[in-house]
Amino acid sequence: MSIRELRLIGDPVLRTACERVTVFDESLARLVDDLLETVQLPGRAGLAAPQIGVGLAVFSYNVAGRLGYVINPHIVELTGTYIGPEGCLSLPGATAETPRAAFAVVDGVDINEQPIRVDGEGEFARCLQHETDHLTGLLYIDRLGRADRAAVLRQVQSR
């Protein structure tokens, strides 16, 4: 296991849709371990594989005592509305009020190819949506209006 370096906005891997995981081997196990270790650093809630330079559909989460990962995730349910500050490790130092669903359910598989379902509300729902977006090449700023998006980019550039 190792803590991996983060990729920042401007890196093309963040804007590229990930490949579904089809090979469940030791290399994937190492990736999952690295995602879990890296997401446990202070101030981190979620981490998608592209954020450490890997174009595979995997993310980890660490929210309110819930630590885990999902391979080949897809959102199966979104309900309600939740608006609050959202940031991203790949856009350091910037946040914006971002609308998300208040409750989210994600299906995927674990390292043994067994089906898993993760659900959550509030900040955990935000995390599930945010990390799933990363796997399609979306960043949270893509959900903002022009002015808010420009403000976030200015925040990032000023750091």
Active site residues: 131
Rounded distance between C-alpha atoms, residue 138 and residue 144, angstroms: 12
Using alpha carbons, select from 46, 68, 66 the residue that is nearest to residue 133.
46
**Tokens 């803590």 belong to residue:** 3
Label residue 26 exposed, middle or buried (CB < 10 Å: 0-12, 13-18, 19+): exposed
